Amino acid sequence: MSNALFLKIHPDNPPLNKILQVVEILRKGGIIIYPTDTIYGMGCDLHNARTLERLCFLKGLKPDKANLSFICSDLTHISDYARSISTQTYKIMKKALPGPFTFILEASSKVPKLAGAKKRTVGIRVPDHQIPLALVKELGNPIISTSIRDEDEVIEYSTDPELIYEKFKGLVDVVIDGGYGQNIPSTVVDCQNDQYEIIRQGAGILEDYV
């Protein structure tokens, strides 16, 4: 595999031609690294099963055990991939998103199987960042995503896109440079059964929206 494309994209006003260039790579089964409103993420088109398995392999995850998030462009995608969303949960999500949260919901039948295993839950993420929102909008469906952990125990997540490129250039297809990322991930909230359990406290404060 040749080295990944290193693509600088303006974080607030991403040019459409560059977004479409990345979307084309996603459609062909590419894995991309991209900025969000929290940490940099690694993702692929959710409809490409082979690439999904490659993504899991890169992260050292067993596909049937992997808990991956969906990056959506807005709430319209959510009813396609999650079921049994109560009015209360929907209202909280509408207030909190776009923002630094991942909401764990019951998966619908449209959520693709991983390694033949049906997923019981799905993490829904609508980041407050123009690059991933534009990618999903042009792709026409969510991107399956996972975070990039850093081996450095002090800095848990890589924030410098050039360092990320050096580390992953032989493993992925595109690294988007949208400027420095944060090193605090999203807050993960389990919303099943309307019990709002914080699985991981990150950048988002749920109490502000409940």
DSSP assignment of 107-148 equals E-TTSPPBTTBPPSEEEEE--S-HHHHHHHHHHSSPEEEEE-
162 vs 176: CA distance, rounded Å: 9
pLDDT at 53: 87
Q: pLDDT band at residue 70, thresholds of 50, 70 and 90?
A: very high
Q: Which two tokens stand for residue 53?
A: 């398995």
pLDDT mean across residues, the chain: 89
Domain ranges of the chain: 5-208
Examine the pLDDT at 146 and tell me if it is beyond 80: yes
pLDDT at 177: 97
pLDDT digits (tens, 9 = 90+) for 151-183: 555 456 678 999 999 999 999 999 999 999 888
Q: pLDDT band at residue 49, thresholds of 50, 70 and 90?
A: confident
29 vs 150: CA distance, rounded Å: 25
Whether 157 contacts 185, CB under 8 Å: yes
What is the value of pTM for the model shown? 0.93
* Whether CATH 3.90.870.10 fits 5-208: yes
pLDDT at 115: 58
pLDDT at 116: 65
Q: Mean pLDDT across the stretch 74-87?
A: 86
Examine the pLDDT at 78 and tell me if it is beyond 90: no
- The torsion of the CA quartet 64, 66, 71, 72, rounded to 10 degrees, works out to 40
